[in-house]
Amino acid sequence: MVKTERALQGADGTLAPAEASAVIVRPAVVADVEAMAELINTFAARGEMLPKSLNQVYQNVRDFVVAEQGGRMIGCGALHVLWGNLGEIRSLAVEEPSRRRGIGSRIVRALLSEARQLGLPQVFALTYKPRFFQALGFRVVDRELLPRKIWVDCIDCVRFPQCDEVAVILDLEVTT
């Protein structure tokens, strides 16, 4: 038996986009990449998150989920696996007109559900909005306490070493 490591569709992804008003959260496909990169880079241009190249988004397309309404992408977010014990939430973006509707929370919850499926015991994020993550159960931690592994990506960041983001972390109950 071949087991896929990715079976998110059941919870959120297979809802038919019948009602134009319903927001669905589903795993990204390659056709979503250009819209995701555009959304991410709009916020990146304002300094709210890190920019991503099309290449980065394509090569990590399976890290992403998208929120969609009436066939239009209104948000996205990624969960990147760093090591056997640690994942990172990245590139969480919801378009301006769709804010304050809980869409970001739904995206994060979908990503956390994937993290559980993958067997990750901890997920962190570096963010300017720690309260958003705290409302989802994350706790603020000293950045220096995160494993050194995460700095492999940080040293390539345009803001390194002047990072002013806040580290938040969540322990997951691993069931697999």
Binding-site ranges for another protein (CB under 8 A): 1-6, 29-31, 33-34, 55, 58-59, 61-63, 80-84, 118
Minimum separation from the CB atom of position 30 to another protein (A): 5
Q: Is 75 exposed, middle or buried (0-12, 13-18, 19+ CB in 10 A)?
A: buried
What 3-state DSSP class applies to 76?
strand
| Between 152 and 158, CB nearer to another protein | 152
Minimum separation from the CB atom of position 129 to another protein (A): 25
Minimum separation from the CB atom of position 33 to another protein (A): 6
CA distances 125 to 98, 122, 170, Å, are 22, 10, 9
Whether the Cβ atoms of residue 12 and residue 110 lie closer than 8 Å to each other: yes
| Between 34 and 48, CB nearer to another protein | 34
State the virtual CA torsion across 93, 94, 100, 106 in degrees, nearest 10. Answer: -80
| Between 1 and 97, CB nearer to another protein | 1
Minimum separation from the CB atom of position 131 to another protein (A): 29
Map tokens 């919870």 to a residue. 11
| Between 116 and 129, CB nearer to another protein | 116
